Amino acid sequence: MSDLLKRWNLLSMPEAERDILACGGSRAWARGMANRRPIANETALLTASDEIWRNVSEQDWNEAFQSHPRIGEPKTQQAVQERSGAWSKQEQSSVARETDLVRAALAEGNREYEQRFGRIFIVSVTGKSGAEILEILRGRLRNDPATEMLEAAEQQRQITRLRLKKWLDE
């Protein structure tokens, strides 16, 4: 068992929820994770995360989505933990290096997505260029609202898994 998991398993419920919240962005998910303690290893952590994520409400998914900045923007509209903000900046570093044209197209796509679906565009950007993200965004704009909600939730699940691994490495 990692030292971080040993320490986290011993925290009070509110402390454990607060400590893991930056990984998933949803208070219900964080509470579910804290309730699953003790968690023995990374595999058990990721399995619990996936199970809990799939069983929280759409409202909880939306709460998690709001913990992210728009693609290409440095900050969220909602206050988030410093750790989450730092991870977002790191994850989106490839977008910051894109041309003005790609960044402008992403900004326009973000606006169009928000008008269509009423929330920010969520995608796991790690390892993707700005042009790849733009292509994904344009493709997802063709989804119906129900399909897109499920896709956004899946992307958030993937982001959460990556962040849990980063969290364990701290």
Give the pLDDT confidence of 112-132 residue by residue, as tens digits. 999 999 999 999 988 888 889
Please give the pLDDT value at position 148: 98
pLDDT digits (tens, 9 = 90+) for 133-156: 999 999 999 999 999 999 999 999
pLDDT tens by residue, 20-60: 999 999 999 999 999 999 999 999 999 999 999 999 999 99
Tell me the percentage of the chain whose pLDDT exceeds 90: 71
Select from 166, 170, 153, 167 the least CA-distant residue to 50.
153
Cα–Cα distance, 64 to 26 (Å, whole number): 5
Contacts of residue 22, Cβ cutoff 8 Å, sequence gap at least 6 = 67, 80, 81, 83, 84, 87, 163, 167
Query: Is the pLDDT reported for residue 81 higher than 80?
Result: no
| pLDDT value at residue 100 | 82
Q: What pTM does this model have? A: 0.86
Q: Which domains does the chain have, with CATH numbers?
A: 3-169 (1.10.3330.10)
Structure confidence by residue, pLDDT tens digits, 10-26: 999 999 999 999 999 99
What is residue 74's predicted lDDT score, i.e. its pLDDT? 57
**What band does 102 get if pLDDT is binned at 50, 70 and 90?**
confident
